[in-house]
Amino acid sequence: MKLVRFGAKGAEKPGIVAADGSIRDLSGLVPDFAGDGLTPAALDRIRALDPLSLPEAPQGVRLGSCIARTGNFIAVGLNYADHAAESGLPVPKEPVLFNKAPNCLAGPDDDVVLPPGATKGDWEVELAIVIGKTAYRIEEKDAVAHIAGYAVCNDLSEREWQTEGTGQWVKGKAAPGFGPLGPWLVTPDEVGDVQALDMFLDLNGKRVQKGSTRTMIFSAAFCVAYISKFMQLDPGDVITTGTPPGVGLGMKPPLYLKVGDTMHLGIEKLGEQRQTVVAYQG
């Protein structure tokens, strides 16, 4: 299934993409895609429906983040060997973890707002995992049973705040809107082999990132199991799993986002995002 949330910001409704590509309104049957709305039982109830029997959403309607909220937004850093190399850092022996703020969730095509004082904004196309079943100290072989689905994430960053000064990554990753998620939440049965998906990001029409989940150092399932050793993952929690090379920080000289820039990014089977960078209005 491809699950979506559509409508004006703050008033999104849950929906499903039907076989004909139309978005169908689930709001009469499902409160929203968050918490218990993402459990295996909840998804099985949706799976039993005929999407074409549901009301159709308006054509061209805005898409919001594919989940309504998250308790934890966890990111895995340096999870592609070639990205670690362009960052001038060694390949990690175990996943590097940091947090993004839960309220950095945004729609896939919403404008990206550069925070006041930000001078080194950067992009990262990433595979994101959404948890559907509570996971604590699980084994890698059991991880997929705890996943509600996968989505495209743009793990936006402010590199000065991330790496300079005290160098705390969370400072550069947590601004509002720095975690566009969607367009869809795609269930594992529809994705198939999540470790064989091509991905890309274009900046102002030029391809800057091109890669594949094949080259992830730590697989999606491994990341879920590994993180569950240290914390309990609950339905609706998000794990974004790292990016291939081609980020602005790794260019020579570095290239950072400026007002008016556009980003177009996507992952095979998971859809695409399009964003424009705008100034903070206060």
d(CA 1, CA 3): 6
Residue 133 contacts residue 228 (beta carbons within 8 Å)? no
Q: Is residue 262 part of a domain?
A: yes
Q: Is residue 56 part of a domain?
A: no
Residue 144 contacts residue 129 (beta carbons within 8 Å)? no
Domain limits for position 260: 67-279
Task: Give the pLDDT confidence score for residue 90 in this predicted structure.
Answer: 85
- 9-37: per-residue pLDDT in tens? 999 999 999 999 999 999 999 999 999 99
Q: Is residue 22 part of a domain?
A: no
Q: Is the pLDDT of residue 46 over 90?
A: yes
Residue 69 contacts residue 101 (beta carbons within 8 Å)? no
Residue type, 156: L
Q: Is residue 225 part of a domain?
A: yes
Q: Is residue 29 part of a domain?
A: no
Q: Name the domain count of the chain.
A: 1
From the number of C-beta atoms within 10 Å of its C-beta (0-12, 13-18, 19+), residue 247 rates as buried
d(CA 9, CA 90): 40
Residue 167 contacts residue 182 (beta carbons within 8 Å)? no
pLDDT grade, residue 165 (50/70/90)? confident
Q: Is residue 47 part of a domain?
A: no
Task: Give the pLDDT confidence score for residue 88 in this predicted structure.
Answer: 81
Contacts of 60 (CB under 8 A, 6+ apart): none
154: domain CATH number is 3.90.850.10
Q: Is residue 197 part of a domain?
A: yes
Q: Is residue 254 part of a domain?
A: yes
